[in-house]
Amino acid sequence: MGLFLIGKVSVDMELAISLNVFDIDMDKLEQGVKRSAAAGFACLDFNFCDYYRVLQGMTWEREKAWVTRVSDTADAAGVRFVQAHGPMYRGKLDDTFIDLCERSLRSAAIAGVRWVVIHPINLTSAAAYDRSDRSLLLGQNVDFLNRILPVAEQVGVGIAVENMMDHRTKEGACRQVYGSTPEELAELVDTVNHPLVGVCWDTGHALIQGLDQHSALSAIGHRLKATHIQDNDGLTSSHFLPYHGIIDWDAIMHALRDIRYTGAFAFETHRAIRSLPDELRDSALKHAALLGNYLLSKIGENEP
């Protein structure tokens, strides 16, 4: 955790890491908790999205027992779950997907998570979305959030909608994706107008989208409730550690300071660690913790 003073106002952020830095194996997740704690992380991100296929065929009682066991391991290791990644929309807004979203909220509550990250709903047709007329997808996303908000209210866990990025085809055409701009996310959150709905900012997605991240985060402002911190080359969402791509990290940290963000500074950097031989992952995790704490220390610095 980093507590830094800006004038007479403290800005408090928590360094976290997603457990997807380890192999996606439900039976090994507890070891991931212990190893992350040993590397110096006090906070964790529970990545439910990587287990959606298994969870689809699992009873709620079994899921509840699994999450309880992992949560108990975190308590014993002296670490806390502060955010989670819910299931990702894959073209079907059906009862199965809604059930997975609701279960991720219930599971998050068991683990002590404050915010579950959800991707916005997007149409599957490449030609279906034109940014000049976004009312259709705004309505779909409002309806989607309103469907799962009763469970969020019941368990006291918030929903943070993640910024996406437009996709370019091999021919150079651009497929616009809803939720790729701060204006769309702010409009969605303001339309739903609920204290349990906010934004998750993925730094890597924003880079590929070509956004000025200081300006974008300023536009999101108080709506920011969670982060996915990753770096890349501006072309591919590589999920590298900071300073291993081309993101201007001074701009990111100054923006978080300026909007007085107080949530998790959460690494989503699995490709920087999971791709390594298992014998090297612990040292890579320690390096990641050093990088994260270095970035948090920059919150207290003055503007250049």
Task: Give the pLDDT score at 190.
Answer: 98
Contact 298, 52 (CB under 8 A): no
Please give the Cα distance from 82 to 79 (Å, whole number): 10
Calpha distance 263→266 (Å, rounded): 9
Burial level of 8, CB count in 10 A (0-12/13-18/19+)?
exposed
CATH code, 84: 3.20.20.150
Structural domains in the chain (count): 1
pLDDT value of residue 161 = 98
What is each CA distance from 301 to 7, 56, 203, 242, in whole angstroms? 11, 46, 20, 18
N- to C-terminal Cα separation, the chain: 24
Full domain range(s) for residue 107: 2-300
Contacts of 120 (CB under 8 A, 6+ apart): 89, 137, 141, 161, 162, 164, 178, 179, 184, 185, 188
Secondary structure (3-state) at 179 = coil
User: Rg of the Cα trace of the chain?
Assistant: 18
- Alpha carbon of 237 to those of 67, 232, 253: distances in Å? 28, 6, 20
Provide the residue-wise pLDDT of the chain in tens; the chain has 304 residues: 454 433 333 348 999 999 999 999 999 999 999 999 999 999 999 999 999 889 988 999 999 999 999 999 999 999 999 999 999 888 788 999 999 999 999 999 999 999 999 999 987 555 556 777 788 899 999 999 999 999 999 999 999 999 999 987 766 667 789 999 999 999 999 999 999 999 999 999 999 999 999 999 999 999 999 999 999 999 999 999 999 999 999 999 999 999 999 999 999 999 999 999 999 999 999 999 999 999 999 886 654 4
CA distance 108 to 116: 7
Q: Strand pairing partners for 14?
A: 264
CA distance 231 to 238: 7
Specify whether the CB–CB gap between 269 and 239 falls below 8 A.
Answer: yes
State the DSSP code for 297.
H
| pLDDT for residue 257 | 94
- Amino acid 173: pLDDT: 67
Note the pTM of the prediction, 2 decimals. 0.93
